Amino acid sequence: MINTLKNLISSLEYSYSLTLDMNFLTTTVTKYENLIDEENTLSLEELMYIHYLIALCDDNLRNNDKSLHHFNLCLYYSILTNNETYIGKCYLYASKLYFILSDLDEYVYCFNKAEKIFTSNNNYCDLSKLYIYTILHNLRLGICTSKVFGFIAKTLNLLTLYENEFSAQTYMILGSVYAIYLKDNYYAIELYKKALFLANKYNLVTLKIMINYFIATGYIDLNRNNEGCKILENLLSDTVAVPPITMKCVFTLELLNLYITTESNIDYIGKGIDFIQENLILLPQLDRLQFISQLLIIKCRLGLLLNNQSIDTLLNWITKSNEIYTVYKTSYRFSHADYTINCLFGDIYYEFEDYLNALEYHKLALEFSSMYESKYVIYAHQKIAKDYAALNNYKEAFINMEKVDKIRSTIQHVNLLDNYTKVYKEYEDFKENEETKNQFFANLSHELKTPINIIYSSIQLLNMFKDTNEDKFKGYYGKHEKSVTHNCLRILKLIDNLIDTTKIDSGSFNLTFVNYDIVKLIEDITLSTLPYIEIKKLNIIFDTEIEQLEIKCDPYAIERIMLNLLSNAIKFTNNGGNINVIISLKDTNVCIKVNDDGIGIPPSMRDQIFDKFIQVDNALNRKKEGSGIGLSLVKSIVELHNGRVYLNSTRMRGSEFIILLPNVKSMEPYDKIICNTYVPNTSKISAEFSDIYELN
């Protein structure tokens, strides 16, 4: 049962609300509530997962009190089972719900608890989720303080420390924060594109659709209507990546608004309205009224454009739309609704020559416009100017048009400054990348030339003695054969690393996953390095808290990871030093630690150590060889296992690398899982240690 519960939780925990089936959520809640009532033999762990699952479902159904109740029950069972991951998760969601319910003391308490747990466990993913919820709820209430900006900065920093499927969603949400609340669509689109890259990398089809939608709305807000329109039309016509019905209705609404704004494709607008009306019954009940509200707005805009509706009909439609909006307010999913509704009230009254009422509503729209893009402020002032002109108050009309000109001048100045800043930043980034690349190629040249020169010199020496007697030649051959082999391995390692880096970047690096005993695998890999350990008279200890545990992994990819970390430990630890390999269980992960008491990593390099082409010592006369690719490959391969690797920055002496691999098994049928016994690859081991002078 636990695996089933984990899979259900995983499918809900990081899903976007628009993609969820509300009927499924309701059915799931009923099913597991009945199970709790009827089944008396459930373990504490099962009860923990069940209450967490019910709480997640109720949270998405917006049953806030009920959801909080189950999160508190889950917290109780998490404490009893000493499951720190779920203790943190429960505090995370409790903080979110207490904020919504305006219990700020409990919110602060739960937030601090969650933050402390996630920080101490380096759980960057859930920590970023905690900050995201805090950012969104503050901004929805109009709270935009330095503290909120601090959480945004922290979240962006966390995204540099981990990468998984949730990273794409986090970038997308941050993009929407910049677009909707911070009015910076340029940066929003940059964040959306980062999200899209990750969604493509992890093949998150539904999320890709959502991100493309947000990019389209960003273009529309920047008045790049053609680009936005093209993306929306492509999303709706795609027969491969078909959006869920809720998304299709959202995209259709956006397209209808765009067609009315640009006064184009008028014939399609009626068809679009019919499509949404026909599918209302399929939409989640909680969203249905909001879509009706938006349809009424579309009808009002179209009626004003075509001038084919009475004032009573138009006022009736916009009044009903406003009533629905008033019910939902902060949970209303469509942006600019307060501005749009008041604008339409004003437009309707203006069309039917009730200029005083038109002015009143357009002034209300102006108040709301300040929360959105500058173009909405401009539109509101233009409408107010028209109202005053119709009332023969040309002085006020002129004042409002002056404000329009002033805002436009400010926008042009800001855009010019932003463009200059952006170009300057791009130049600085380019310069930094060029310096890194130049340093890398200089090191690469050194890495290749050194072994090639040695091989070439050895061949020249052998050529000099090839005509001597056989015994003498064998003596010279025996003397130089090891050196040639060793330097060939150095070149082979470098080329393999370069090829694999290219494959990972292009998405063509494939792993063969099996269910394998991770404890035995790590022990076998560690033991395979003993001949090299003994040469430097190092002490190595392998320690494990668990005797046996099968997980989904690629044994030879794990070998690649461990050999790199162990070769680094051997390389940078002085003779007689100590290396430890430790395995333990850490909540839902297998934790593998590789530490040493060697020279360590300078604090200035710790944030970059997993970046491509970065070396602790990048001087050409450095004492230790290396290309600067190894740890970047380690990080990429660990992430392909849906795991994380990081440097323990609190260690005072030497270095400690920590790998977290998901404690899960492959769900493929047994006959599809190739589970051969792992045999250490001696040539790979020799190649990995070929750049350590002391060993060769």
What is residue 228's predicted lDDT score, i.e. its pLDDT? 92
Average pLDDT (126-152) is: 88
Is the CB of residue 505 less than 8 Å from the CB of residue 512? no
Q: What are phi and psi of 693, to 5 degrees?
A: -55, -40
Average pLDDT (200-212) is: 88
Please give the C-alpha separations between residue 527 and each of 105, 543, 585, 684, 688, in angstroms, as whole numbers.
54, 12, 21, 14, 15
pLDDT tens, position by position, 372-399: 778 889 999 999 999 999 999 999 999 9
Is residue 4 scored above 60 in pLDDT?
yes
pLDDT tens, position by position, 422-476: 777 777 777 766 766 666 666 666 666 777 777 777 777 777 777 777 777 777 6
Is residue 626 scored above 70 in pLDDT?
no
Please give the domain boundaries of the chain with CATH numbers for all domains.
Answer: 394-510 (1.10.287.130), 514-690 (3.30.565.10)
For residue 643, give every residue at least 6 positions away whose Cβ sits within 8 Å of its Cβ, in sequence order, or none: 589, 659, 660, 661, 662
What is residue 221's predicted lDDT score, i.e. its pLDDT? 86
pTM beyond 0.75, yes or no:
no
Average pLDDT (489-501) is: 77
The overall average pLDDT reported for the chain is 84
In the chain, what percentage of residues exceed pLDDT 90?
A: 39
What is residue 627's predicted lDDT score, i.e. its pLDDT? 52
In the chain, what percentage of residues exceed pLDDT 70?
A: 90
Average pLDDT (289-317) is: 94
For residue 675, give every residue at least 6 positions away whose Cβ sits within 8 Å of its Cβ, in sequence order, or none: 514, 515, 516
Is residue 694 scored above 70 in pLDDT?
no
Q: Band the pLDDT of 151: cuts 50, 70, 90.
A: very high
What is residue 621's predicted lDDT score, i.e. its pLDDT? 41
Cα atoms in the 13 Å half-sphere on the side-chain side of 217: 26
